[in-house]
Chains A and B, each alone.
Chain A
Amino acid sequence: MSEQVKIEQEQKSNVSAKDNILLEVKNLKKYYPVTAGFFKRKVGDVKAVDDISITLKRGETFGLVGESGCGKSTTGRTILRLTDATDGQILFEGKDITKLKGSSLRKFRRNIQMVFQDPYASLNSKMMVGRIVDEPIRNFTRQTSKELEPEVKALLSKVGLREEDYYKYPHEFSGGQRQRIGIARALALQPKLVIADEPVSALDVSIQSQVLNLLKEMQTEFELTYLFIAHDLSVVKHMSDRIGVMYLGNMVEVGDNNAIYKEPLHPYTKALTSAIPEPDPLKKKERIILEGDVPSPQNPPSGCVFHTRCPAAMPECKKVIPQLKEVRSKHKVACLLYD
């Protein structure tokens, strides 16, 4: 533990006390090349993430919402350096991490941990729960499993499992309990940032609320910052302080969670909030039904990427790419309607 404290102190001294920003993503781009033919000639790009910027303050939860294929998971994976960014900067505590290599990259990795979507696929079925949870610590320190046992057991009881569960294997647990194991593993290193990629979408509603509550409890206990990625706007709204709405690799709107829900500005956000079926049969709300499907990111529409499905599209939308602009206080939108 003493080693860890030392590293933390070191990192703290690098950052000025005033600096409250943990993560700053600047103009991040991630393109996947599309190849064809025998020589794998490059014929185009899939623009999974196209020029997005996010600022995350310490202790806050930033929610990323969007439909499948909008690039929200790619954003998370790029911040973790699981894939490398094509362009742009990711500043973690002021340091650009996109260029890190070797041992400095390895050292950095302990600061960010991830909770995955599928609790059935993300745990090694041949490993005991204790090994799964202590593996990240063993990876970064010289401590053995035996030395770590009390610490890991304490962590297990913190996430709502029992100490005996240390000796069990993943198949003995239900989906919700497995997700608790996944959360314990993410917290084992006491990271600063946790990226939760659809942590509850594979779970039933009654279990979903347990896991969401646990994530909130852990946030206060370990002073965590979350990047919370999900497609379900009601879940994201419940968890987040601020929300970013993504569409086809672009950030179309960023704002406080209430602002996004109460006064959505972008036509896409409006459609998204209205499409959520509310569990109240008496409230018949006006639905904005979007036509068609999300276009392919390999061949995105010109101008505003949403213009093909937008109910408020104007002729300019085909030509001009809208920029993210602050139109209300702390509420940014990328749409020509607000120019």
Chain B
Amino acid sequence: MTYKQQEKDLLKVKKLHTGFYIEGKFHHAIEDINLEVKPKEVVCVVGESGCGKSVMSLSIMQLLPKGISKISDGEILFNGEDLAKKTEKEMNKVRGRDIAMIFQEPMTALNPVFTIGYQLQEVLFNHSNINKKDARKRAIELLREVGIPRAEKIIDEYPHQLSGGMRQRVMIAIAIALHPKLLIADEPTTALDVTVQAQILELLKDIQEKEDMAIMLITHDLGVVADIADRVIVMYAGQIVEEAKVVDLFTKPKHPYTEALLKSIPRMEEVTDKLNTIQGVVPPITNMPEVGCRFVDRCHKAFDSCKKVSPQLGNVNGDQHLARCLLYEKCYPSDYSEEKEEISL
């Protein structure tokens, strides 16, 4: 990667390792995460539950519980500044203003004892010297922007008076209040019905265009990914296993896990008797294999080396398509030499 490209990245995560203390022992939940988000880009992170996608987003925001978790290694560069080295006070200035986040469950993310208006204005008061009158005006404006009808009334209502979709709109309004450059959305539509999900996805697309912000959307739903993403990152058991532009990922998946995942979704237009399945389950973080590929036990393309050699993330198809699989020569670690010639693709 050239220096110029590096400069352009809004967010750059380098070799991030985060883990938890479980029964006195430290276990990594995510390992060796490298990723970039460019300005105005929509990056989707997909993976099954427990693959570490939420841990990653919480690490970026420095929101993981102190004491039981730790970022053990790596850098999180936002506009060139390392967030991992910032103090809590400094982080508070970044959160909301530069990076905002919306969560899966809009009911628990909003405080039930304060009005919508209070929670919206709180962000404005914390980050700028705005007077009460202007803050209220701006809050109403924001609610209108996210498509909430009767904004002047809703501003004085409480979260329980709104439906799930409306609450998620309020969350989005709070998130975009200070024109952040990056919005991290952790499963923003999972708790919503499909017709409401469609509304929220449209809204996110609109706002992304209007505000010129980048979105990092975390989801398990490949349908949502296909709808909104520019680039996709697939995670499995705490590692990135594939990264590609959205069309490449869906048309030419390189990692067997991605391939199997795409095949296991029931499709509307096809009639099949039997769905493709991925046998077995994700290994728990307390019992990760130390060497070898983490997908080996569930992979139908696994061969002998898969248990002995840890694959690296390598370019497999052009410069933008990365995968972590020994089927590809570029994924062998640099110090690996024996048997290399024997591998046939």
Contact = CB atoms under 8 A, between A and B. Distances in A.
Q: Do A and B bind each other?
A: yes
Interface of A: 67-68, 174, 176-177, 204-210, 212-213, 216, 231-235, 237-238, 258, 261, 271-282, 287, 289-290, 293-294
A273 B268 contact: yes
A138 B201 CA distance: 50
Nearest to B51: A204
A333 B199 CA distance: 25
14 contacts: A205-B220, A205-B264, A206-B278, A210-B278, A213-B275, A272-B195, A276-B268, A277-B221, A277-B224, A279-B222, A282-B247, A289-B198, A293-B165, A294-B193
A208 B48 CA distance: 11
Which of B49, B165, B193, B250 lies at the interface centre, i.e. has the most chain A CB atoms within 10 A of its CB? B193
Given A174-B281, A205-B264, A293-B196, 20 more contacts: A67-B194, A204-B48, A204-B49, A206-B264, A206-B278, A209-B275, A209-B278, A231-B193, A231-B194, A233-B268, A234-B267, A234-B268, A272-B194, A278-B226, A278-B268, A279-B250, A282-B250, A287-B202, A290-B198, A293-B163
B48 A205 contact: yes
B194 A216 contact: no
Interface of B: 48-49, 163-166, 193-199, 201-202, 220-227, 229, 246-247, 250-251, 260-262, 264-269, 271-279, 281
Contacts of A258: 271
B268 A67 contact: no
A218 to B, nearest CB: 13
B316 to A, nearest CB: 19
A219 to B, nearest CB: 11
Nearest to A261: B268
Contact of B226 (A210, A231, A261, A281): A281
B276 A209 contact: yes
B321 to A, nearest CB: 14
A278 B198 CA distance: 12
Contacts of B276: 209
Contacts of A68: 193
Contact of A275 (B165, B198, B278): B198
Contact of A279 (B165, B197, B247, B262): B262
Nearest to A284: B227
Given A205-B265, A216-B274, A275-B198, A281 B250 contact: yes
Given A204-B48, A213-B277, A234-B267, A277 B197 contact: yes
A206 B48 contact: yes
Given A233-B268, A237-B266, A282-B247, A204 B220 contact: yes
B223 A277 contact: yes
Contacts of B266: 209, 212, 234-235, 237-238
A275 B281 contact: no
Contacts of B274: 213, 216
Contacts of A280: 226, 250
A205 B222 contact: yes
A274 B265 CA distance: 17
A276 B223 contact: yes
Nearest to A262: B269
Contact of A277 (B227, B264, B267, B277): B227
Nearest to B260: A206
A287 B247 contact: no
